[in-house]
Amino acid sequence: MKVLLAVDGSKCAVRAARFLVKLLAGREAQVELVNVQPPMAYVDLLSGATRAHVERLIAERGRSAARQTLDVLASARIASRLQVLSGDAAPVIVSAARELGCGLIIMGTRGLGAVAGLALGSVSTKVIHLAKVPVTVVK
């Protein structure tokens, strides 16, 4: 089984990682961690050196957001691979799952509540609607 775990550095993402550890107990699986950073406006206009510096900063921000989740998986001896991507989170997560051949997406929810979720547009709700594979949202 190949699983995509979307991580954002939140406590909910760590809970989703712990859920994944329990789900995979005694099973072989390949875990792909994905962190999506917001798109950088006008990055194409930067010089090569400046653009490379900005891309390194984005990658470090993504690694930092995934650190606790990576620790949870490592302590359970579950191998994983992290990709830091950029763009609108929900479509990027769904696209990554498709490109990586994942049969399941697991992610945490920030628990904004019904009204705030409707007003702001929950990433997890968008992923559920866009994905062609099962999505598990951990609260």
CATH no. of 2-138: 3.40.50.620
Q: Which of 116, 119, 115, 130 is nearest to 4 (CA)?
A: 130
E strand map for 38-88 = 80-86
pLDDT at 44: 63
Q: Nearest Cα to 128, choosing from 116, 138, 120?
A: 138
Q: Please give the model's pTM, rounded to 2 decimal places.
A: 0.88
Least reliable range by pLDDT among 17-21, 29-33, 112-116, 126-130: 112-116
pLDDT tens readout for residues 79-117: 999 999 999 999 999 999 999 999 999 999 875 454 444
Rounded to 5 degrees, φ, ψ at 120 are -90, -25
pLDDT in tens, 58-80: 899 999 999 999 999 999 999 99
